[in-house]
């Protein structure tokens, strides 16, 4: 079977560092934190006092009327905004002629949690007749993909992945395979999440996953010995993947080529990663094999790097297992130190960071790395961005349920 080459031709994001790609990337390279005081909820009710919230986001700025916006959960707003930006960035026109070959694969880890909570309160107080008729289509995780497809007229392959914190990366990897095998020419893909809600934050606090550091500037500190949990974030990251010949024919700008995808299961525990990160290691190996890339060719890894005790330690161990001596020569950073953890959207945003690092030859830093954990002893691009040529890069995502996903990108060469 003749496997198609697949390239990245458009980027779009809304996240705690900015409501567009340019602002986001500039702030990331400057080492700015998108974390602030928890304002969506009453912070007095939770041990977690900080969150990585979007600033000044309004879906109406993206041409969605208020009446229509009310029929969607915020995670769908974020997906639409990021998708519209990505399609515009790709200079992609979807017409009746090509609509059947343009697909949508956008995931969400928890979907419309806020909608579920508010509508359940309405049900308890006023009965089923007062529940919104849009309750179910607002809540279900696939509606980000559904609404983007409807809005843009994309009639091709349409799907949604739900793999917790690996969602965005799995979505992009699966969309990559759709094009590679010839089932689509273009895929609009990534993840979206709006998890800063009463029950979501309560649940993560109850299982002690969130940082209780009240200082927004230092709460997210991957690989640091004083890390005490992740900072919950929100937003969306969308990339346009395109079959190479299709992209070249229409004169598209090519950011990078996506060449490898690995996806494994820990088969170990509902929340804890497998000891030594063995599942993540297998995902990385699978992605390298899929890409035809040897370990010593890797220049940069955008780590899952959540700022939790086990994740950072085990991901470091997994990288050492996969890359051997080369692990000490490659660079690896966690942009979650700045964005917080966007759950199902994380992989989408981090794929954008990975591609831009390659395009611009600049590595985003891991901020707040002041007291390195002795078990985390690789080059994490500590505290300041670095200029470095990147020809091959990897992005990792590891999720509750034992989901591991890895993408490999290469600098595009004709």
- pLDDT number for residue 319: 98
Taking residues 199-224, report their average pLDDT: 98
HSE-CB at 108 with a 13 A cutoff on CA atoms is: 28
- Alpha carbon distance 229, 147 (integer Å): 33
Q: Is 265 exposed, middle or buried (0-12, 13-18, 19+ CB in 10 A)?
A: middle
- pLDDT number for residue 100: 98
- pLDDT number for residue 39: 98
Label residues 45-59 b or e (16+ Cβ within 10 Å = b): ebebbbbbbbeebeb
> Residue ranges of the domains in the chain?
1-414
- pLDDT number for residue 98: 97
Cite the DSSP H helix spans in 71-206: 74-89, 113-126, 135-139, 143-152, 167-180, 198-206
- Alpha carbon distance 83, 305 (integer Å): 25
pLDDT band at 345 (very low <50, low <70, confident <90, very high): very high
Taking residues 78-97, report their average pLDDT: 98
- Alpha carbon distance 77, 258 (integer Å): 27
Taking residues 316-335, report their average pLDDT: 98
pLDDT band at 361 (very low <50, low <70, confident <90, very high): very high
Mean pLDDT of the chain: 98
Taking residues 34-52, report their average pLDDT: 98
Q: What is the pLDDT of residues 280-298, one digit of tens each?
A: 999 999 999 999 999 999 9
- Alpha carbon distance 238, 344 (integer Å): 12
Task: Name the 3-class secondary structure at 217.
Answer: coil
| CATH class of residue range 1-414 | alpha beta
- pLDDT number for residue 204: 98
pLDDT band at 2 (very low <50, low <70, confident <90, very high): confident
Q: Find, among 216, 236, 255, 244, the residue nearest to 337 by Cα.
A: 216
165 is known as an active-site residue: yes
- Alpha carbon distance 390, 257 (integer Å): 13
Taking CA atoms, 377 is separated from 31, 95, 192, 350, 381, in Å, by 21, 51, 32, 22, 11
Task: Name the 3-class secondary structure at 14.
Answer: strand
For residue 8, the surrounding DSSP H or E stretch is strand 6-14
Tell me the pairing of strands 362-363 and 256-265.
Answer: unpaired
- pLDDT number for residue 93: 98
Which tokens go with 62? 């993206």
- pLDDT number for residue 167: 98
Whole-model pTM? 0.98
Q: What is the pLDDT of residues 156-165, one digit of tens each?
A: 999 999 999 9
pLDDT of 1 higher than 80: no
Taking residues 58-62, report their average pLDDT: 97
pLDDT band at 69 (very low <50, low <70, confident <90, very high): very high
- Alpha carbon distance 313, 303 (integer Å): 12
- pLDDT number for residue 414: 87
- Alpha carbon distance 132, 30 (integer Å): 44
DSSP string, 233-267: B-EEEEEEEEEHHHHHHTT----EEEEEEEEEE--
Strand partners, 237: 13, 191
Task: Name the 3-class secondary structure at 225.
Answer: coil
pLDDT band at 86 (very low <50, low <70, confident <90, very high): very high
């Amino acid at each position: 079977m003749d496997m198609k080459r697949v390239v990245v031709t458009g980027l779009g994001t809304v996240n705690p560092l900015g409501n567009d790609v340019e602002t986001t990337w500039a702030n990331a390279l400057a080492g700015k934190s998108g974390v602030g005081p928890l304002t969506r909820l009453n912070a007095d009710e939770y041990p977690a006092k900080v969150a990585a919230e979007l600033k000044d986001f309004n879906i109406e700025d993206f041409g969605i009327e208020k009446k229509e916006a009310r029929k969607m959960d915020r995670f769908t707003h974020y997906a639409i905004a990021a998708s519209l930006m990505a399609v515009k960035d790709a200079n992609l026109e979807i017409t009746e002629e090509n609509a059947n070959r343009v697909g949508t694969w956008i995931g969400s880890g928890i979907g419309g949690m806020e909608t579920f909570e508010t509508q359940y309160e309405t049900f308890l107080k006023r009965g089923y007749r007062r529940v919104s008729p849009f309750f179910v289509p607002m809540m279900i995780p696939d509606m980000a993909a559904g609404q983007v497809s409807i809005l843009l007229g994309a009639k091709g392959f349409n799907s949604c992945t739900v793999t917790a914190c690996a969602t965005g990366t799995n979505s992009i990897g699966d969309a990559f395979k759709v094009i590679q095998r010839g089932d689509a020419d273009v895929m609009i893909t990534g993840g979206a999440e709006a998890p800063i809600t009463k029950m979501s934050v309560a649940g993560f606090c109850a299982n002690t996953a969130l940082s209780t550091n009240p200082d927004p500037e230092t709460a997210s500190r991957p690989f640091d010995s004083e890390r005490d949990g992740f900072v919950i974030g929100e937003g969306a990251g969308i990339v346009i993947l395109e079959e190479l010949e299709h992209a070249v024919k229409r004169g598209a700008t090519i950011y990078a080529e996506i060449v490898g995808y690995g996806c494994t299961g820990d088969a170990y525990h509902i929340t804890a990663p497998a000891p030594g990160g063995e599942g993540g290691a297998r995902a990385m190996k699978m992605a390298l094999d899929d890409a035809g890339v040897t370990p010593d060719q890797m220049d940069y890894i955008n780590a899952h790097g959540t700022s939790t005790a086990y994740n950072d330690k085990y991901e470091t161990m997994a990288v050492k297992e996969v890359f051997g001596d080369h692990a000490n020569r490659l660079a690896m950073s966690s942009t979650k130190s700045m964005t917080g953890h966007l759950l199902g959207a994380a992989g989408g945003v981090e794929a954008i960071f990975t591609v831009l690092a390659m395009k611009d030859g600049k590595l985003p830093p891991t901020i707040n790395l002041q007291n390195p954990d002795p078990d985390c002893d690789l080059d994490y691009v500590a505290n300041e961005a670095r200029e470095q040529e990147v020809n091959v890069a990897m992005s990792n995502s590891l999720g509750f349920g034992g989901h591991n996903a890895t993408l490999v990108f290469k600098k595009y060469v004709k």
